[in-house]
């Protein structure tokens, strides 16, 4: 048994610096507090002053090295907290009060290029001035997410335009249903806390505002290149994939294409990142470095052109967290190579992360940022070790094995976080890597050729035809893979603790195998046993669950009666599967549901051992519901029917809730979003007056009712 290898941290200074800096950012995100912010500023100031004191003494004696190092870490911790807190600060209390329900007149600037989404045009707005109902104007710098009703005029809106509009601005709310997309967190990471819907007749254009020359030129160029792709790639799927792969424009991808690439583990090729930036760097390096030269000005010129090509590509693709990470890292590697240095790749990665987090601390919470760094670490550290395990003499087979080793390394380091975020495992990820990596290596240069010679009629036609053929072939192969048996293992739901435990297991086992350490190997196996025990305990808990979920569904009703890992879903026939995928299916996946039966409110009656539905009445393990979806019965029974819950749905004409007592004896009144805002407010006021207990699902979100066995 060998001892653990000694890690020389002096070789990785930015790895050491990055850890306390990230801890400070996470601390500010989890516990944003002005007192803690001031304390961090004070601690940072004291730490900087102490650094001068310790630095002079550590040069004379090594005993001051530890205090010096601790002071550096405290300063970085304080810096991370303060930077994140400053950027997380919400808008002023004055705007908060203005945004509470009243209609406002705003003057705003389009903060990005609008995106067409269904029947609306979506764009972030920078509010410059706002006028309240008392005709008072206020200056502000608030960002909001706006959706414009689609018409002929709104299509002409461009980045940088000034508009005025009248609307109600609301805070972006948390998800109404469990485990669904969290828009509030998503936009908060962009420092956007408000949203609005702008009708076609409530806005008008003012003028073209001053915009960033760099960003406006980038957007205009990007739009031109997208039109060029559209011209030469007439089919929807091929154009969508080319737009995402070459320019990072993923809005054209439909659900079918997204699912095919996601289910085969090939989605990374449609998210511009290290693969794409690496190809750009390699292509331009091959073009620019044809011959060696001793002239300094030529070396500098080639380096600057190479860096320019990388960053132009980064901005054209939208400057996402992953592409910014890749561009910064490749830039540092190029500069290191040109200055005759060989920088440590882990130190370069840490320095890249440090720079990006200085610019925007919220990058650390970006999924793309996390996945890209973890994938690169896996490829750099694990790929050579996996590749060397098998020696293949044949060059073609050896090349295939090297690509497979890349996929295995990246998949291993991103597996726990992928399970945590996406809840699935693509079984054929290793096959998809053999398809998309070579294809992307051909498609990206060919796209650049099309961009360069798009104005040359015959040449651009031939290039476009070849590009179309490659895209069609890649899509066809990915669709074939996605339809293979057992292509995807879904409904993998793990907690954040499970994710960290999985990383501890992977790290222990990999380190133990590489360095032949039996203690770490034992720790890895013990962690695996703990993880499996927790996994089986969760499954046992799911077998015991008995509960009713009432969801918030726009203009519809949806209820799940869950028993063990089976569910009976009762809903409106107007709800389609695509809607349910965003309403109740994430919750059912988290609950481990495998057996599902669907019923409709206006459909046939049904009965089994624990559930019965008869007309508008449901009994689930002794819990009784009466659904009122039009009006009360014409005649009252001698004795009011006893139920636990009265469920008002689809706008029943109940002007006076007191008449309910004539027909029913009940404990709670429930209504959902299938009823209008006016009816819900009326019923809430009456329940307060009459002393009824009520639940407003439309206002409070989905509710869970535990059912005793």
Distance (Å, whole) CA 203 – CA 176: 29
Mean per-residue pLDDT over the chain, rounded:
85
Percent of the residues in the chain that have a pLDDT greater than 70, as a whole number: 89
Provide long-range contacts, Cβ within 8 A and 24+ apart, for 571-574: 571/598, 571/599, 571/600, 571/601, 572/600, 572/601, 572/602, 572/650, 572/674, 573/600, 573/601, 573/602, 573/603
Range of lowest pLDDT (302-316, 351-365, 400-414, 564-578): 302-316
Same domain, 640 and 692: yes
Give domain status of residue 565, yes or no.
yes
Distance (Å, whole) CA 365 – CA 76: 18
Per-residue pLDDT of 113-148, as tens digits, reads 888 887 888 999 988 888 877 777 878 888 899 999
Same domain, 304 and 238: yes
Give domain status of residue 3, yes or no.
no
Per-residue pLDDT of 176-230, as tens digits, reads 999 999 988 888 888 888 999 999 888 888 866 556 666 677 777 888 888 898 9
Per-residue pLDDT of 242-271, as tens digits, reads 988 888 888 888 888 988 998 898 888 887
Same domain, 191 and 235: no
Average pLDDT over residues 97-126: 82
Band of residue 58 on the pLDDT scale cut at 50, 70, 90: low
Cβ density class 324-362: b for 16+ within 10 Å, e for less: bbbbbbbbbbbeeeeeeeeebbbbbbbbbbbebbeebbb
Same domain, 194 and 63: no
Domain that holds residue 574: 546-706
Distance (Å, whole) CA 685 – CA 696: 12
Q: Any idea what the Cα angle at residue 587 is, between residues 583 and 590, rounded to 5°? A: 150
Q: Are strands 566-571 and 595-600 parallel, antiparallel or unpaired?
A: parallel
Report which DSSP code applies to 209: P
Same domain, 361 and 500: no
Q: Is the pLDDT of residue 101 over 70?
A: no
Give domain status of residue 51, yes or no.
yes
Average pLDDT over residues 512-523: 88
Q: Is the pLDDT of residue 9 over 60?
A: no
Q: Is the pLDDT of residue 8 over 60?
A: no
Same domain, 80 and 115: no
Q: How many angstroms separate the Cα of 102 from the Cα of each of 124, 133, 142, 695?
A: 21, 7, 17, 26
Residue that terminates a domain, selected from 390, 407, 427? 427
Q: Is the pLDDT of residue 83 over 70?
A: yes
Residue that terminates a domain, selected from 211, 226, 259? 211
Highest average pLDDT, of 34-48, 308-322, 427-441, comes from: 427-441
Report which DSSP code applies to 363: G
171: tokens are 């805070």
Residue that terminates a domain, selected from 43, 70, 88? 88
Q: Where are the alpha helices (DSSP H) in 647-695?
A: 660-663, 677-690
CATH number of the CATH domain containing 591: 3.60.15.10
Same domain, 510 and 652: no
Give domain status of residue 2, yes or no.
no
Please enumerate in sequence order all residues whose Cβ is within 8 A of that of 248, keeping only pairs 6 or more positions apart, or say none.
271, 272, 316, 317, 318, 320, 323
Give domain status of residue 434, yes or no.
no
Q: According to the model, what pLDDT value does residue 208 have?
A: 63
Same domain, 153 and 24: no
| Residue 501 or residue 515, greater confidence | 501
Please enumerate in sequence order all residues whose Cβ is within 8 A of that of 678, keeping only pairs 6 or more positions apart, or say none.
none
Average pLDDT over residues 294-314: 77
DSSP 445-490: HHHHHHHHSTTSHHHHHHHHHHHHHHHHHHHHHHHHHHTSTT-EE-
Q: According to the model, what pLDDT value does residue 675 have?
A: 93
Please enumerate in sequence order all residues whose Cβ is within 8 A of that of 577, keeping only pairs 6 or more positions apart, or say none.
none
Range of lowest pLDDT (278-292, 436-450, 532-546, 555-569): 278-292
Q: Is 569 helix (H, G, I), strand (E, B) or coil?
A: strand
Q: Are strands 546-550 and 558-563 parallel, antiparallel or unpaired?
A: antiparallel
Burial class (CB in 10 A: 0-12, 13-18, 19+), 239: buried
Band of residue 671 on the pLDDT scale cut at 50, 70, 90: very high
Per-residue pLDDT of 343-398, as tens digits, reads 678 888 888 888 889 888 988 998 888 888 888 888 888 989 998 888 888 888 98
CATH number of the CATH domain containing 148: 2.40.50.140
CB–CB of 552/702 below 8 Å?
Answer: yes
Average pLDDT over residues 84-97: 70
Q: Using alpha carbons only, how large is the chain's radius of gyration in Å?
A: 30
Give domain status of residue 563, yes or no.
yes
Q: According to the model, what pLDDT value does residue 60 have?
A: 53
Give domain status of residue 300, yes or no.
yes
DSSP 487-534: -EE------HHHHHHHHHHHHHHHHHHHHT-HHHHHHHHHHHHHHHHH
Percent of the residues in the chain that have a pLDDT greater than 90, as a whole number: 30
| Residue 50 or residue 639, greater confidence | 639
Q: According to the model, what pLDDT value does residue 1 have?
A: 43
Same domain, 224 and 354: yes
Please enumerate in sequence order all residues whose Cβ is within 8 A of that of 366, keeping only pairs 6 or more positions apart, or say none.
189, 321
The dihedral through the CA atoms of 551, 554, 557, 560 has a sign that is negative
Name the residue with tokens 């819907």.
197
Q: Per residue, what are the HEC states of 65-93?
A: HHHHHHHHHHHHHHHHHHHHHHHHCCCCH
CB–CB of 104/98 below 8 Å?
Answer: yes
| Residue 564 or residue 115, greater confidence | 564
Distance (Å, whole) CA 629 – CA 412: 52
Q: Is the pLDDT of residue 309 over 70?
A: yes
Same domain, 445 and 321: yes
Give domain status of residue 433, yes or no.
no
Cβ atoms within 10 Å, residue 679? 17
Question: Of 405, 400, 476, 428, which is closest to residue 266 (Cα–Cα)?
Answer: 428
475: tokens are 């899509």
Per-residue pLDDT of 646-663, as tens digits, reads 999 998 988 889 888 888
Number of independent structural domains in the chain: 6
Same domain, 244 and 333: yes
Same domain, 480 and 347: yes
15: tokens are 């790895």
Q: According to the model, what pLDDT value does residue 285 have?
A: 74
Band of residue 90 on the pLDDT scale cut at 50, 70, 90: low
Q: Is the pLDDT of residue 312 over 90?
A: no
């Amino acid at each position: 048994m060998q001892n653990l290898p000694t890690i020389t941290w002096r070789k990785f200074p930015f790895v050491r610096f990055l850890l306390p800096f990230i801890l400070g950012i996470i601390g500010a995100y989890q516990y944003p507090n002005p007192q803690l912010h001031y304390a961090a500023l004070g601690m940072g100031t004291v730490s900087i002053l102490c650094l001068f004191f310790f630095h002079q003494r550590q040069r004379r004696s090594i005993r001051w090295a530890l205090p010096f190092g601790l002071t550096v870490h405290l300063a970085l911790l304080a810096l991370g907290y303060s930077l994140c807190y400053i950027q997380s600060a919400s808008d002023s209390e004055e705007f908060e009060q203005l945004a509470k329900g009243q209609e406002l007149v705003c003057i705003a600037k389009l903060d990005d290029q609008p995106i067409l989404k269904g029947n609306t045009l979506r764009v972030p707005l920078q509010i410059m001035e706002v006028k309240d109902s008392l005709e008072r104007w206020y200056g502000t710098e608030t960002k909001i997410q706006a959706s414009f009703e689609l018409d002929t005029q709104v299509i002409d809106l461009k980045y940088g335009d000034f508009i005025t509009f009248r609307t109600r601005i609301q805070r972006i709310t948390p998800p109404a249903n469990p485990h669904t997309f969290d828009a509030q967190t998503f936009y908060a990471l962009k420092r956007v806390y408000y949203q609005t819907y702008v009708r076609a007749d409530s806005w008008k254009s003012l003028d073209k505002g001053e915009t960033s020359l760099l960003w406006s030129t980038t957007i205009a160029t990007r739009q031109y290149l997208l039109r060029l792709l559209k011209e030469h790639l007439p089919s929807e799927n091929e154009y969508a994939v080319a737009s995402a792969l070459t320019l990072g424009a993923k809005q054209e991808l439909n659900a079918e294409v997204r699912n095919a690439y996601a289910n085969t583990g090939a989605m990374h090729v449609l998210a511009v990142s290290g693969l794409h930036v690496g190809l750009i760097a390699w292509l331009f390096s091959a073009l620019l470095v044809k011959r060696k030269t001793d002239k300094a000005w030529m070396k500098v010129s080639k380096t600057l052109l190479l860096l320019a090509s990388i960053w132009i590509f980064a901005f054209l693709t939208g400057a996402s967290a992953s592409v910014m990470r890749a561009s910064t890292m490749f830039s540092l590697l190029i500069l290191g190579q040109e200055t005759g240095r060989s920088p440590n790749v882990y130190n370069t990665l840490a320095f890249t992360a440090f720079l990006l987090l200085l610019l925007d601390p919220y990058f650390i919470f970006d999924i793309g940022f996390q996945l890209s760094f973890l994938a690169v670490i896996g490829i750099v550290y694990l790929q050579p070790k996996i590749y060397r395990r098998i020696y293949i003499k044949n060059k073609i087979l050896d090349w295939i094995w090297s690509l497979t080793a890349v996929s295995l390394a990246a998949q291993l380091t991103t597996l726990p976080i992928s399970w945590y975020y996406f809840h699935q495992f693509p079984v054929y990820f290793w096959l998809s890597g053999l398809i998309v990596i070579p294809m992307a290596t051909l498609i990206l240069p060919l796209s650049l050729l099309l961009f360069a010679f798009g104005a040359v009629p015959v040449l651009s036609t031939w290039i476009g035809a070849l590009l179309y053929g490659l895209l069609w072939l890649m899509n066809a192969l990915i669709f074939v893979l996605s339809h293979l048996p057992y292509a995807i293992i879904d409904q993998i739901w793990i907690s954040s603790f499970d994710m960290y435990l999985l990383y501890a297991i992977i790290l222990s086992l990999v380190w133990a195998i590489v360095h032949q350490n039996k203690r770490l190997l034992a720790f890895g196996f013990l962690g695996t046993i703990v993880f499996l025990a927790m996994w089986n305990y969760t499954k046992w808990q799911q077998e015991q669950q008995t509960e009713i979920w009432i969801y918030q569904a726009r203009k519809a009703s949806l209820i799940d009666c869950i028993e063990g890992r089976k569910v009976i879903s009762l809903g409106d026939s107007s709800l389609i599967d695509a809607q349910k995928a965003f309403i109740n299916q994430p919750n059912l996946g988290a609950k481990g549901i495998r057996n599902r039966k669907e019923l409709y409110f206006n459909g046939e009656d049904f009965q089994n051992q624990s559930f019965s539905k008869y007309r508008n009445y449901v009994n689930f393990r002794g819990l009784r519901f009466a659904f009122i979806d039009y009006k009360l019965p014409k005649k009252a029974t001698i004795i009011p029917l006893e139920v636990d819950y009265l469920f008002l749905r689809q706008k029943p004409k109940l002007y006076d809730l007191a008449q309910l007592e004539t027909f029913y004896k009940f404990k709670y009144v429930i209504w959902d979003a299938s009823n209008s805002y006016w009816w819900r407010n009326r019923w809430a006021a009456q329940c307060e007056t009459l002393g009824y207990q009520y639940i407003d699902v439309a206002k409070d979100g989905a509710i869970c009712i535990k059912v005793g066995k």
